Amino acid sequence: MAVLQYLMMGRAAAGRTIITGQRWGALENGQGELGLGNTSETTSMTRLGSETYWQNTESPGQQGDNRSVVNSEGKLYVWGRNNSGCLGLGDTTTRSSPVQVGTDTDWQEAGITAGACAAIKTNGTLWTWGENSTGALGAGNTTNRSSPAQVGSDTDWSHVLPMAANLDALFAMKSDGGIYYSGSGTGGLANRNTFAQIGSEDGFVDACMIGFGVVAWKS
């Protein structure tokens, strides 16, 4: 698992501290997931480029051998393994350096599993792409997609949950604090190809995946 370090200025947003600054990485890099322009492992913390606009708006605790990161300019960058088009670049070519997804500058945060990606824009819309054999993209089908597409018309999505690399589902929160999923069911959930709420409880301020379970917090 790659180790990340941020040298930062902090600011509070949506209950989380958003960090802007340099991005550093070390250790596993077989698919170029550190974004350093190569696939060599390194035991020294190495800086990614010279930019100082990187933010920790990727899904914290994100695992696997690919990355999706929103910078301070609202641009979405991806790199690493690109199975099933999970980088959202319209192809399945692996990248060892950051590549911008499209030209939009209104991305808020993103999260990626080994094969599927979810991202939220500042207008509260949810977008997904990548591996979809289990319906994880929430599009009502099981067709893979190599470019971002909006999920439904809701504009109240607020947070992409940190996800494990081996999950065949995507998880996200809405502004009312409800937690939703789409894809392969785990822990008694039914398999779905559209997003559905987990239970009926809302009011959560943050949540994440730990293993195959969901942990959430209320204030």
**Per-residue pLDDT tens digits for 117-148:** 999 999 999 999 999 999 999 999 999 999 99
Report the distance separating Cα 114 and Cα 90, nearest Å: 17
Whether 76 is covered by a domain: the verdict is yes
Whether 3 is covered by a domain: the verdict is no
- How many other CB atoms are found less than 10 A from the CB of residue 143? 11
What's 196's domain CATH number? Answer: 2.130.10.30
Q: Which domain holds residue 88?
A: 59-217
Per-residue pLDDT of 87-121, as tens digits, reads 999 999 999 999 999 999 999 989 887 688 999 99
Whether 135 is covered by a domain: the verdict is yes
SS3 59: coil
Mean of pLDDT values over 166-170: 79
Q: Determine the pLDDT at residue 131.
A: 92
